């Protein structure tokens, strides 16, 4: 594949078909982690969190990956690096996204462990997001 448009600890992101990107995971990442990320991304998107829609799991160049809708613009991290004054407004949103990811991961753990999880509502104050499971 061509040069990645982004690179991270677990994967590289490449341009794909028009309007999409493919996130190809490094060979050491278990397929179960890729499936878990797909579930989390699907849940986050369905909750109305402004995240790219996730598509199918693919195999390219011997690597497993996920196809995502291509989101225009820069990442929050890039914006914080290039505009230090934006950190005050973006850092809480960045933290909330990680909180939602943690919540989704915890919820999945309890579901897969066949534990009883009563319906709860999580409110994230700054953007008015409410999650009810």
Neighbour tally for 16: CB within 10 Å: 19
Tokens representing residue 81 in the block: 């690096």
User: 109 and 65, same structural domain?
Assistant: no
pTM of the predicted model, to two decimals?
0.67
The domain boundary residue, chosen from 32, 54, 71: 71
User: 119 and 99, same structural domain?
Assistant: yes
User: 64 and 11, same structural domain?
Assistant: yes
Ranges of beta strands (E only) in 18-79 are 20-25, 54-60, 63-69
Q: 28 or 73, which is more confident?
A: 28
Distance CA(131)–CA(133), nearest Å, equals 7
User: 95 and 55, same structural domain?
Assistant: no
Q: Does residue 124 carry a pLDDT above 50?
A: no
User: 110 and 98, same structural domain?
Assistant: yes
User: 125 and 103, same structural domain?
Assistant: yes
Q: Does residue 7 carry a pLDDT above 80?
A: yes
User: 64 and 78, same structural domain?
Assistant: no
User: 22 and 64, same structural domain?
Assistant: yes
Neighbour tally for 81: CB within 10 Å: 12
Domain range for residue 97? 73-133
* Domain count within the chain: 2
How confident is the model at residue 108, as a pLDDT? 59
User: 104 and 47, same structural domain?
Assistant: no
Contact 97, 126 (CB under 8 A): no
pLDDT tens-place string over residues 84-112? 898 888 888 878 777 777 777 666 555 55
Q: 29 or 76, which is more confident?
A: 29
Q: What is the mean pLDDT of residues 15-38?
A: 94
């Amino acid at each position: 594949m061509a040069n990645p448009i982004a690179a991270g600890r677990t994967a590289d992101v490449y341009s794909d078909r028009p309007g999409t990107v493919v996130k190809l995971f490094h060979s050491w990442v278990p397929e179960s982690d890729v499936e878990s990320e797909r579930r989390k991304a699907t849940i986050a998107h369905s909750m109305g969190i402004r995240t790219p829609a996730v598509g199918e799991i693919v195999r390219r160049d011997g690597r497993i990956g996920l196809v995502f809708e291509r989101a225009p613009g820069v990442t929050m991290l890039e914006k914080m690096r290039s505009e230090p004054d934006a950190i005050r407004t973006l850092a809480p949103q960045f933290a909330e996204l990680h909180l939602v990811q943690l919540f989704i991961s915890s919820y999945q753990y309890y579901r897969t462990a066949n534990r009883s999880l009563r319906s709860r509502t999580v409110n994230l104050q700054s953007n008015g997001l409410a999650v009810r499971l």
